[in-house]
Amino acid sequence: MRVKICGITKPEQGNAIAQLGATALGFICVPSSPRYVSREKISALTQGLSQAVDRIGVFANTTVTEICQTVITTGLSGVQLHGNESPDFCQQLRHSLPKIEIIKALRVRTTQCLTNSEIYADSVDMLLLDAYHPHQLGGTGKTLDWNTLQNYKPCLPWLLAGGLTPDNVSDALSLLQPDGIDLSSGVERSPGDKDLDKVARLFTNLLAKNSF
């Protein structure tokens, strides 16, 4: 199972989290976020990381040009779109970055959001389902209603996000079969400051569940 830890801001924590077993690290490229990191900081954060660990830049409602410049400057291996990006926008990005993974995040407010996910089938590589919040794009700690996802038949591989913690991840995976999980606030002391004990407990619980 893919395990992505998002909102990395400290190089020593990023390296430690990768060594604990994370298969992807997420770097927030949204200036309004308390977990925002600049291009220069991303380059410092990824220096020395194993090439086996995916480096995902998280963007929201910005331009293709801005995303491309960040990817080229930092060597990101993937892009996560966490705003209101349309399938056409995703196609433009795909054309500009044909070798870069594209993940489209959907903030699930109603079951209709799940139905609408099909419109991205031809324009992205993976979906991420996050909890809806009226004022924040992500990292809210708010949990999705997992029961509404039990009959979800995705058109693409997908990551489960939204309020996951080391303590509830086993319950989530008892109900659902995502291709991976994404955690941020659930393994933090404060925004951008990861709690390595929580991260270690996450992987212990995943191993006990035979999900990793």
Q: What is the largest CA-CA distance in the chain?
A: 44
Q: Report the C-alpha gap between 119 and 66 in whole angstroms.
A: 24
Q: Report the C-alpha gap between 48 and 46 in whole angstroms.
A: 6
Q: Report the C-alpha gap between 14 and 6 in whole angstroms.
A: 10
Residue 77 contacts residue 110 (beta carbons within 8 Å): no
Choosing from 29, 130, 155, 179, the catalytic residue is 130
Give me the amino acid identity at 21: G
Q: Is the dihedral of CA 16, 13, 80, 44 positive or negative?
A: negative
Instruction: Classify each residue of 137-151 as buried b or exposed e, where b means 16 or more C-beta atoms within 10 Å of its C-beta.
Output: bbbbeeebebeebee
Give me the amino acid identity at 9: T
Query: What is the CB-side half-sphere exposure of residue 43 using CA atoms within 13 A?
Result: 9
Q: In terms of DSSP H, where are the helices of 155-210?
A: 169-175, 196-208
Instruction: Examine the residue annotation and report whether 6 is marked as an active-site residue of this protein.
Output: yes
Catalytic residues: 6, 130
